[in-house]
Amino acid sequence: MSADPVAFARDLLRCPSVTPAEGGALTFLQTVLAGAGFAVDRVTFSEPGADDVENLYARIGTGKPHLVLAGHTDVVSPGDEAHWQHRPFGGDIADGILYGRGAVDMKGAIACGLAAVLDHIAAAGGQPKGSISFLITGDEEGIAVNGTVKLLQWAAARGEAFDHCLLGEPTNPKTLGDMIKIGRRGSLSGALVVTGTQGHVAYPALADNPVRRIVDIMSAVMAEPLDAGSDHFDPSNLEFTSVDVGNKTLNIIPAEARARFNIRYNDRHTRDSLKALVEARARAGAQGGRFRIDWDPSNAHAFVTTPGPFVGLVSEAIAEVTGRKPVLSTSGGTSDARFIREYCEVVEFGLVNRTMHGIDERVATADLVALTAIYRRIIDRYFG
Range of the domain at 218: 187-295
Q: Per-residue confidence at 95, pLDDT binned at 50, 70, 90?
A: very high
| Distance from C-alpha of 294 to C-alpha of 301, rounded to nearest angstrom | 19
282 and 360 co-located in one domain:
no
CA dihedral 367, 369, 371, 377 (to 10 degrees): -150
283 and 308 co-located in one domain:
no
- The answer to whether 140 is a known catalytic residue is yes
- The answer to whether 139 is a known catalytic residue is no
| pLDDT at residue 299 greater than cutoff 90 | no
Structurally, how many domains does the chain consist of?
2
**SS3 of the chain:** CCCCHHHHHHHHHCCCCECCCCCCHHHHHHHHHHHCCCEEEEEEECCCCCCCEEEEEEEECCCCCEEEEEEECCECCCCCHHHCCCCCCCCCEECCEEECCCCCCCHHHHHHHHHHHHHHHHHCCCCCCCEEEEEEECCCCCCCCCCHHHHHHHHHHCCCCCCEEEECCCCECCCCCCEEECEECEEEEEEEEEECECEECCCHHHCECHHHHHHHHHHHHHCCCCCCCCCCCCCCEEEEEEEECCCCCCCEECCEEEEEEEEEECCCCCHHHHHHHHHHHHHHHHCCCCEEEEECCCCECCEECCCCHHHHHHHHHHHHHHCCCCEEECCCCCCCHHHHCCCCEEEECCCECCCCCCCCCEEEHHHHHHHHHHHHHHHHHHCC
51 and 173 co-located in one domain:
yes
275 and 314 co-located in one domain:
no
117 and 252 co-located in one domain:
no
pLDDT value of position 170: 97
What tens digit of pLDDT does each residue of 194-210 get?
Answer: 999 999 999 999 999 99
122 and 158 co-located in one domain:
yes
Residue where one domain finishes, among candidates 263, 295, 327:
295
pLDDT value of position 57: 98
What tens digit of pLDDT does each residue of 252-276 get?
Answer: 999 999 999 999 999 999 999 999 9
317 and 349 co-located in one domain:
yes
192 and 332 co-located in one domain:
no
Name the active-site residue from 139, 140, 169, 361. Answer: 140
Name the burial class of residue 296, with classes exposed (0-12), middle (13-18) and buried (19+) by CB atoms within 10 angstroms of its CB. exposed
Q: What is the CATH number for 264?
A: 3.30.70.360
135 and 108 co-located in one domain:
yes
| Residue 83 and residue 358 in contact, taking contact as beta carbons nearer than 8 Å | no
Q: What is the CATH number for 377?
A: 3.40.630.10
- Flag whether the pTM goes above 0.85: yes
16 and 62 co-located in one domain:
yes
Name the burial class of residue 205, with classes exposed (0-12), middle (13-18) and buried (19+) by CB atoms within 10 angstroms of its CB. exposed
| pLDDT at residue 32 greater than cutoff 70 | yes
| Distance from C-alpha of 177 to C-alpha of 162, rounded to nearest angstrom | 26
137 and 227 co-located in one domain:
no
Q: Per-residue confidence at 163, pLDDT binned at 50, 70, 90?
A: very high
| Distance from C-alpha of 330 to C-alpha of 307, rounded to nearest angstrom | 12
46 and 144 co-located in one domain:
yes
pLDDT value of position 301: 85
Q: Are strands 66-72 and 164-167 parallel, antiparallel or unpaired?
A: parallel
Name the active-site residue from 11, 22, 54, 74. Answer: 74
Mean pLDDT for the chain overall: 96
pLDDT value of position 1: 52
* Average pLDDT for 109-132: 97
Residue where one domain finishes, among candidates 251, 270, 295:
295
Q: Per-residue confidence at 248, pLDDT binned at 50, 70, 90?
A: confident
